[in-house]
Structures are given as C-alpha cells and as structure tokens.
Amino acid sequence: MFKDDLGKRIAELKKKRDAIILVHNYQLPEVQEVADFCGDSLELSRIAAKTNAKVIIFCGVHFMAETASILSPDKKVIVPDIKAGCPMANMITSQDIRKLKEEHPQAAVVGYVNTSAEVKAELDYCCTSTNAIAVINALKEKEEIIFVPDKYLADYVSKQTGRKLITWNGYCSTHVKILPEDIKREKKFHPFAKVIVHPECLSSVVALADVVLSTSKMCQYAKEVEAKEFIIGTEVGLIYRLKQDNPTKEFYSASERAVCPNMKRATQEKILWALEELKEEVKVPDDIRRLAKGAIDRMLEIA
C-alpha cells in the first residue's frame, strides 16, 4: 500500500475503533505523522488518563503502554510491536526493590517511570525526567531516599536537590552512547548553538550542557529561546519533531549513535495491523495495577 493510502486507512479505522494514537517523541517520522499526540512520558501518561477513546494505540516502549493501562484500565491499550521493550526498565525487578527496601526500611522509594508495572507496584512515588527534581524536593522530611533504576538521572537529581540518594546500577543503553567528546566536537562546529541534553546522559555529558530537559521540555525550550542553533543530546528521533516545530532553526544531533532500536519498531503498517486486529494488548493485572497507580497518582499530586 502507498504511504498516502496507509495514512487514509489508519484514519478511517481509527474512527471506526474509537481509537487514539499516542506517540513518543523518539518514534519514526512516519509514526509521528499519524499521531493524535506526540509527547514525553509524562504528557502521554496524562493524555492516557483523560482520553475518552475506547482504544489507545501506544507507539513507544512497553513500560509506557503499561502506564497507560494502569491509568486507563477500561481502555484497550494496544502496541504495534510487543517486542518494543526498554533495556533500562529491564535492569531492575520487583524482587530487587523488595531487597533494597529490606536493607533501608525507613527510606522513601522513588522510581523512574522507565520501570515495569510490577516494579511500580513497590514504589512510594513514581517520577519522570520532567518532575524528578520536584518529587525529591517534596520529600524533605524523609531522611533516606531510594532512587531507581537510572544512576545518571539519580546523579543529576542529587546534584540539583543536594540530596544523597540510594541508587541502582541502571542506565539507558542509548543515552550512554553520547560521549563528552561528541558534545565538544559539535560545539567546535557550532560555537553559538545551545547544548540541550537529556538527564539520562552520562554525568560528564550533563556537565557540558546549557540545559538538561525531558524530550517535550526540549521542544518547548527550542521554541521559546531566541537561539537559532541547538546541539541535541538525546535519542536521534527527537530531531524530526524539533525541525517540524521550528523550521527556521537548526538542530544537530550530538551523536548519530544515539538510536533506541526499540523506539523504531513501530511503523505505519504495524499501526494499521494493530487497528485491524486490536493486537497486541497490554493489560496490567488488577492487584499490580492498583499499587502501581498509587505511585503514579502520588507523583501527579506533587508535579
């Protein structure tokens, strides 16, 4: 089928199924083109929580679809490719968290949204890259805080809040590919460019940034500031959205190696099949869902 026909067929079926298509900012351009909403983890969770659609086609990675299912249990959450997982989320299990809690019984437990539903069920608070600092700042009265799984996000948050955190050896296998020498090289080529990086980057990369932001906050920042050139330290897929939103500005990827293969699994064709067959569904069992929702709700109350 030609791309135009595919787009048309997706739009027709979407109506018929009463579906919306939620798309993470790292997805392929062809997927962003058929999105009802493109956003970061926090924005997509919020939309999933309040949509009236019966079906959510979630183009992102597995933990994001789970989060949508946790917040919208009456909706059918469908992923175009069930194999799209997040290596960072797979670096910690609910058993690991229980062990950490045994070792630090007084600690508040904060977990990044990049975790499985089972892990979220063990958390006191969830957080995203947008609100991690606000969540930690809200826990002033807590002497100890466990922060999992991303050690680089934890380091950034710890430096910004002045809190010592109990951390885990997790990391994003895509963001660690961006090296300080990449930023230095791009700065040489584009001396007037602002350097924006994601907090999942290595601490040595974060140290070279003008600003450290979530993917959607990067989009907002690029629109609002006067600068005309930007070096982007995150997954390469964001460049497409940045260019669409700001046709007169220039965006340079800090490293072409920063590709998340899981985020590239969805295609227009797979979205069409997902709408036709309403498969694969991601559904979180109710006992886990209730506990995990508590951690997400407590996050949304703070930020």
Q: Which does 215 bind (CB under 5 to 8 A by kind): ligand SF4, ligand 13P, none?
A: ligand 13P
Residue with Cβ nearer ligand SF4 (91 or 139): 91
Consecutive H or E run containing 195: strand 194-197
Q: Which of 20, 31, 119, 172 binds ligand 13P (CB under 6 A)?
A: 172
Residue 289 Cβ vs ligand SF4, minimum distance, rounded to whole Å: 21
Residue 31 near ligand SF4 by CB under 6 A: no
**Per the structure block, which two tokens stand in for 98?**
């229980």
Residue 173 near ligand SF4 by CB under 6 A: yes
Residue 267 near ligand SF4 by CB under 6 A: no
Over the window 215 to 254, marking each residue x when it contacts ligand SF4 by CB under 6 A and - when it does not, the resulting string is: --------------------x-------------------
Residue 88 near ligand SF4 by CB under 6 A: yes
* DSSP line for 113-126: SSS-HHHHTT-SEE
Q: Which of 13, 28, 36, 87 binds ligand SF4 (CB under 6 A)?
A: 87
Following CA atoms 183, 28, 22, 226 in sequence, which dihedral angle do they give, to the nearest 10 degrees?
Answer: 40
Q: Which amino acid is at 77?
A: V
Following CA atoms 179, 180, 184, 189 in sequence, which dihedral angle do they give, to the nearest 10 degrees?
Answer: 20
Residue 86 Cβ vs ligand SF4, minimum distance, rounded to whole Å: 3
Order of strands across the sheet that contains 250-253: 211-212, 194-197, 229-233, 250-253
Residue 61 near ligand SF4 by CB under 6 A: yes
∠ at Cα 289 (273, 294), nearest 5°? 130
Residue 262 near ligand SF4 by CB under 6 A: yes
Q: Tell me which residue of 263, 240, 262, 270 sits closest to 1, measured CA to CA.
A: 270
The whole-angstrom separation of Cα 86 and Cα 64 is 9
Residue 154 near ligand SF4 by CB under 6 A: no
List residues bridging with 59 in a β-sheet.
23
Residue with Cβ nearer ligand SF4 (69 or 129): 129
Which parts of this chain interact with ligand 13P (CB under 6 A)? 25, 40-41, 114, 128-129, 172, 200, 214-215
Which parts of this chain interact with ligand SF4 (CB under 6 A)? 61, 86-88, 114, 172-175, 200, 235, 260, 262-263
